[in-house]
Structure 1
Amino acid sequence: MTATAPDASDDAAGDEVLYTGVVVYSTQDPEASSLLVSGDRIAWIGPTETAEALHPRARRIDATGCLLTPGFVDCLPTSDGSPVDEDWRRDALARGVTDAVPGLPGTREGMRVLAPLAETQPLKDLSTQGVPLAFGSLGAEEAAAPWSWVRSAAHEGEVDQRISDRAAFLASSRAGLRLLDIPHPGALNLGVEATFVVWEPWDLTVHSSDIRTNAWSVDPRSRTPMLPDLTEGAPRALRTLVHGEIVHDTPGAIAR
């Protein structure tokens, strides 16, 4: 993966960075293959060909095949509800977890907060009843990787209580931001804060908890964002950005 630097005399390029060749988890444009970061915001998403024409002076990062998603939020980062320390935050950023909401399992702000790997809950029933879900690790080492929360809720346990990958992902990301009183669409749309994760290339899919809907869910016309196929593991976080700043970077994986 390479970066193409702008002309040294081009001051207009400033802090604009263009990620190309990617898959963007966006409800605004699920087919976008480029994303522009300007300052602390997502300033543009769309086709790579258009990006190169509209933003020729931005510093280009070729991250072909990588998936870009909002960061995860751990709503149960510790087993006793205590705050997290800087060591935890550093390690969390390397896993694609960009924030934490310490507390205990149960109901907070009208949300059912739980650890999917540690608790058996009727997730489908709760969702059907309109109960918002928020996930976390409960401080368990085996639950530290955030994609494991999604896999547990969408692919494991009682079949009739599984929820979709998308619902599980939102419970692992947007739900935590709502607990922090941070409005967020749960996707990388235009104007959203540039806090996101660049995941290594991985097989992608759209999976529903109801097999009857899978046929239309994977159709591009459904405009449903793609997520990793978690049946064979989960991707690594190659780079994590918070407010447009790189806070974790896997050495040599992506050129700056």
Structure 2
Amino acid sequence: MTAPGTDAPSTSAQDDVLFTGVVVYSTQDPEASAVLVSGGMVAWIGPTETAEGLHPGARRIDATGCLLTPGFVDCLPTADGAAVDDAWRASAASRGITGAVPGSAGIREGMRVLSPVAEPLPLKDLSAQGVPLAFGSLGAEDALDPWSWVRAAAHGGDPAQRISDRAAFLASTRAGLRLLDVPHPGALNLGVEATLVVWEPWDFTVHSSDIRTNAWSVDPRSRTPMLPDLTEGAPRALRTLVRGEIVHDVPGALG
């Protein structure tokens, strides 16, 4: 399936597609460099060196240096979901957003829904109190890029109230899915639905809200997945998949 208005290759959820040379946001195997998408699922993750030998029939896509993550989930200021039409979904997919939670800011099902770009709350205090956070744009024009949610929560505002990049990323992805009653680990682990984004090559790092823990965070023993360094902007989405099907593609960016 090809998204309207793109020149993406015709790829269905039943095709076996092997991404190689990548950085994978996976808690199961943070050092993986290859991902097999098959039947709309993440069917295998591991090293590029062994990927082709194990999966010779898959169509290989050399995405060297790209990051693969779950899609973002936006929280939108509408109660009836009217804003979530085909035009919105196509635009959102181009930004790496694959889902939407209609509704306003505030407490919902025990979770604090907010836009960290527009609403500078004491996020670290809320986290310390055990309040689950869910981020989104809430319709703000300056919050359309989902990486801006992560940047605002982890790098902006009061330094004493910043949370880690990982916590901000999970609040921007897994939290929304849970509001939609979709269980998800928040990472591309084996057996997870292949709703994911391929981001352009970037500088990747692990950033904690506490500089004293950063040395441990980047140690391979911490098993902490990498995320983009957001100090100089954010990567663009080269390809977005929903259950293994392409819904956004930058022509010529990937094979």
Q: Hey, what does 1:248 align to over in structure 2? A: 248
Hey, what's the Cα distance between the residues in 1 that align with 2:88 and 2:243?
Answer: 19
User: What CA deviation, in whole Å up to 9, does each residue of 1:226-251 have, x standing for no partner?
Assistant: 00000000000000000000000011
Q: Hey, what does 1:5 align to over in structure 2? A: none
Letter in 2 for 1:22: V
Is 1:177 aligned to residue 177 of structure 2? yes
TM norm structure 2: 0.92
Q: Hey, what does 1:8 align to over in structure 2? A: none
Q: CA deviation at 1:57?
A: 1.3
Q: Hey, what does 1:232 align to over in structure 2? A: 232
Hey, what's the Cα distance between the residues in 1 that align with 2:73 and 2:123?
Answer: 19
Q: CA deviation at 1:81?
A: 4.3
Cα 1:28–1:36 shift into 2, 3 Å? same
Hey, what's the Cα distance between the residues in 1 that align with 2:187 and 2:33?
Answer: 14
Q: Hey, what does 2:109 align to over in structure 1? A: 109
Hey, what's the Cα distance between the residues in 2 that align with 1:197 and 1:69?
Answer: 5
Q: Hey, what does 2:69 align to over in structure 1? A: 69
Q: Which runs of 4+ in 1 moved over 2 A?
A: none
2:102 partner SS: coil
Q: CA deviation at 1:82?
A: 4.8
Q: Hey, what does 1:7 align to over in structure 2? A: none
Letter in 1 for 2:245: E
Q: Hey, what does 1:98 align to over in structure 2? A: 98
Q: Hey, what does 2:211 align to over in structure 1? A: 211
User: What CA deviation, in whole Å up to 9, does each residue of 1:160-187 have, x standing for no partner?
Assistant: 1000000000000000000000000000
Hey, what's the Cα distance between the residues in 2 that align with 1:23 and 1:204?
Answer: 9
1:234 partner SS: coil
Hey, what's the Cα distance between the residues in 2 that align with 1:86 and 1:60?
Answer: 30
User: What CA deviation, in whole Å up to 9, does each residue of 1:40-74 have, x standing for no partner?
Assistant: 10000000111111111111000000000000000
Gaps of 5+ in 2: 1-13
Q: Hey, what does 1:88 align to over in structure 2? A: 88
Q: CA deviation at 1:24?
A: 0.5
Cα 1:70–1:38 shift into 2, 3 Å? same
User: What CA deviation, in whole Å up to 9, does each residue of 1:210-230 have, x standing for no partner?
Assistant: 111001101122110000000
Letter in 2 for 1:226: M
RMSD: 0.9
Letter in 2 for 1:122: P
TM norm structure 1: 0.92
Matches within 5 A, 1:32-71: 32-71=32-71
How many residues are matched? Answer: 240
Hey, what's the Cα distance between the residues in 2 that align with 1:183 and 1:192?
Answer: 10
Q: Hey, what does 1:187 align to over in structure 2? A: 187
Hey, what's the Cα distance between the residues in 1 that align with 2:221 and 2:168?
Answer: 22
| Percentage of identical aligned residues | 80
Is 1:199 aligned to residue 196 of structure 2? no
Higher relative contact order (CA 8 A, sep 6+): 2
Letter in 2 for 1:149: W
Q: Hey, what does 1:123 align to over in structure 2? A: 123
Gaps of 5+ in 1: 1-13
